Each structure stands twice: as structure tokens, then as C-alpha cells.
Amino acid sequence: MIRKLIASGVQTDLIDLDLAELADGEQLALQRDGEVAAVVLSGVVDVVVDGASLGAAGGRSSVFEAPGDAIYAPPGHVQLTARGGEARVAIASAPLADLPPAQARIIRPEDQRIGDVGDGNWGRTVRTILGPNDSAGRLLIGETLNPPGNWSSYPPHKHDTHEPPREVKLEEVYFFQVDPAEGFGVGDGRRGAPDGPVPRSPLRVGANRPMSARAKSPAAATRPAPQARCGAGDPPERSEWWRDGYARGGMSR
């Protein structure tokens, strides 16, 4: 079964975000016009892209257990088959525009950039699954885990103006999960006066917040939902912004 969480042209301009929940042996076939990044949240899937097998991806029981595998695929056909039990996969996609696609592959934890950012009660762990220096068109994908009670996306900031390297216009979507299941989060988002928006306030989570997908483009950007994060944009600008973000202690993650 696959559920549409975010639809481009409706909630966003660039990013689509889906959640696949597969029974053992269930097969999911995707035909996408844009590039795809699929993060295995739990379970194991066999991966075939345009008829070529990439092998098995996944293996963790949840995003809170450990970093996990992800699949990158250029526009075309992607087939995922749950193996050895149920599997949950977050699937982000975005158009390439004039950017070249990258080679299909499985992104393992050892291929990811994982580190702690922020400090005190706004510290968190960031897993950069698909960063600006990795081979891809527009998509940026990551997971962010927050200790109980910590703020995320702090300091308050915004991504609605394209003035690199100070700020780039981003479209982001996040898929939130909490552990334990009865956990909660408190978010505060604001828009400013007619003269323009103000930085949006961070989210405070009662438990944990993993993965996100982010897309960024000079004209539009995309912001996924906590559990998945994706982005799209021109590689040089993406690179400069991403490095600056880390230098400032992980803003926007």
C-alpha cells in the first residue's frame, strides 16, 4: 500500500512525498518522471531500477534504532519488494529540470554524513543521506533525531528569499515520527507583516524527530516532513548553503 503525503502542484511546487507500507512479499512499482530518493524506514526491500537489480536495502527496525539505507533513482521505473517481513519506505521525488540525473544506487549508512549539530537543548543528530556534494540532480535527503524535549530547526530562520549565500529559497517537507508512540511535538510557525515574512519558530519535540527530504531551486524550494527530508536546486548554490548551515550549528535541520 502506498499513501500520498505531499502532492506537488497541491501542497508544494516541486516535491512529492509518499509512504509505502508493504506486507512481506508485496511489490511496489513506481514510474516517475522526476528523480527519486526512497528511505527504508524499517524492514528490507529488494530493489530493481529500470530492470537492473541493485540488491537488498534496509534492515533496521525503526529510524530510532540506527542509520538506514536509501535508494536513489533517476527518472524511470523503480520496483520495491518487501522481503522477510513488513517494510516501510518514505519516497521523495522532484523534477530534474535542466539538471543531469545521477546513477541509480543504494546509499548505505557508511556513505552518509552523520554528526551532532547545535548545542544544549537545541542539539540534535543529523544524518545527511543525500547531500549537495553527492551525485544527484536536485534532491537533498536527510534524517534528524532530537533528544526528548529539545528544539529542532533552531535558531529560528526562513527560506523564502533567494539571496545566496546568505539565504536560498527552499521548498521542504517533513515526515515526523515519535518514540514512544504517545510522544508529541509543539511547533510555532509565523508569517510577518506586509513588508515580509519573519523567521519561523522552531519545533520542540517531546520524543524524537527523524528523517527529512528537501528540494531547492532558484525559483522554488521544497520542504519535506520529519522522518524524511528532501530538497532540490542548483548544485553550486546548494553546496554553499549546506556548508554554511553546518558552520552555523546546523540551522534548518
**pLDDT (tens digit per residue) in 123-168:** 999 999 998 889 998 898 999 998 888 888 787 777 788 888 888 7
d(CA 124, CA 194): 34
Cβ neighbours of residue 42 closer than 8 Å, sequence gap 6 or more: 58, 60, 61, 62, 63, 86, 87, 88
CATH class of the domain defined by 2-247: mainly beta
Whether residue 224 has a cis bond before it, omega within 30° of 0: no
Q: What percent of the chain has pLDDT over 70?
A: 74
**pLDDT (tens digit per residue) in 49-105:** 999 999 999 999 999 999 999 999 999 999 999 999 999 999 999 998 788 889 999
Cell numbers for 6, please give them.
505531499
The confidence score (pLDDT) of residue 189 equals 65
Average per-residue pLDDT in the chain? 78
The confidence score (pLDDT) of residue 27 equals 98
Specify whether the CB–CB gap between 147 and 178 falls below 8 A: no
Domain spans of the chain, in order of start = 2-247
Q: Which residue has the cell 533513482?
A: 73
- The pTM of this model reads 0.79
Computed from CA positions of residues 190, 192, 193, 197, in that sequence, does the dihedral angle turn out positive or negative? negative
The confidence score (pLDDT) of residue 153 equals 79
The confidence score (pLDDT) of residue 190 equals 61
Secondary structure (DSSP) of 57-122: EE--SSTTTS---EEEE-SEEEEEEE-SS-EEEEEEEE--TTSPP---EEE-GGGSEEEEES-GGG
With residue 238 as reference, give the H or E element that holds it.
helix 235-247
**pLDDT (tens digit per residue) in 198-218:** 444 344 444 334 444 444 222
The confidence score (pLDDT) of residue 151 equals 84
Cell numbers for 113, please give them.
554524513
Q: For residue 34, is pLDDT > 60?
A: yes
The confidence score (pLDDT) of residue 210 equals 42
- What integer is the mean pLDDT of 241-247? 35
